[in-house]
A = this chain, B = another copy of it.
Amino acid sequence: MTKPTAVSLSVVRRLPRYYRFLGELLKGGCNRISSKELSEKMGLTASQIRQDLNCFGGFGQQGYGYNVQALYDEIAKILGLDKQQKTILIGAGNLGRAIVTHLDFSHLGFDLVGIFDNSDELVGETVGSLTVSHVDSLSEFCHENSPVIAILCIPKNAAEALADSLIELGFKGFWNFSHYDLAIDYHGIVVENVHLGDSLMTLCYRVKNNPSNNS
């Protein structure tokens, strides 16, 4: 398969959704699905699905549809979920702890190897299967373990203050819950920002401007 280099980010963002829906189908014992059926389940058009998957080579067979297991495995490979990336979490407050316990990192392509915080109250606590370390030990930890992904569950100013050293320590990707967007200051770094407040404000707007509501 040729390496997908120029796939647009909006297509990439839909891949995890395909992966989820295909996983559900497998669980339900479905082995084959047409792009039409899949499109109805996902609320997309069949042509959108075909176009998206064609970016990576195309997997359907005219008149047969998709082999669910094969497509599921292929998307996992495209996403890179088959090889786990060493990951740390910085910020073991409410949100950080919830994320660790809520998500199944190993099934999402990540191997969570360390959790760090600067609060003496949290250092030493157990979160999931890990013990929270002090952020002062981060540099030593990174030299020994070479994690490549950092999850940032810290306030904006803390993220800003840490950014230089995180880049120096060789992190290649950030899952960022702080409101400081590293991608603006450090080019070539991959950052997925999760702005929960933005999502909530968008909901506010959409409810107020929903044509189905009379108010």
Interface residues of A (CB under 8 A from B): 3-5, 7, 9, 12-13, 15-17, 19-20, 41-43, 78-81, 85, 93-95, 97-99, 101-105, 108-110, 148-149, 172-175, 179, 181, 183-184, 188-190, 192, 194-213
Across-interface contacts of A16 in B (CB, < 8 A): 195, 197-199, 201-202
Query: Complex: how many Å from CA A210 to CA B101?
Result: 29
Chain B residue nearest to A96 (CB atoms) is: B98
With A16-B201, A43-B184, A108-B201 known as contacts, the answer to whether A207 contacts B195 (CB < 8 A) is no
How many copies the complex holds: the figure is: 2
Say how far A86's CB is from chain B's closest CB, in angstroms: 11
Say how far A115's CB is from chain B's closest CB, in angstroms: 14
Which of B9, B101, B110, B199 is A192 in contact with, Cβ under 8 Å? B199
Nearest 9 Cβ contacts at the A-B interface: A98-B98, A188-B212, A16-B198, A173-B207, A109-B204, A16-B201, A80-B208, A192-B203, A94-B98
Say how far A20's CB is from chain B's closest CB, in angstroms: 6
Across-interface contacts of A172 in B (CB, < 8 A): 207, 210, 213
When the two chains form their complex, are residues A81 and B175 in contact, meaning their CB atoms are under 8 A apart? no
When the two chains form their complex, are residues A179 and B102 in contact, meaning their CB atoms are under 8 A apart? no
Chain B residue nearest to A201 (CB atoms) is: B16
Chain B residue nearest to A41 (CB atoms) is: B184
Across-interface contacts of A175 in B (CB, < 8 A): 199-200, 203
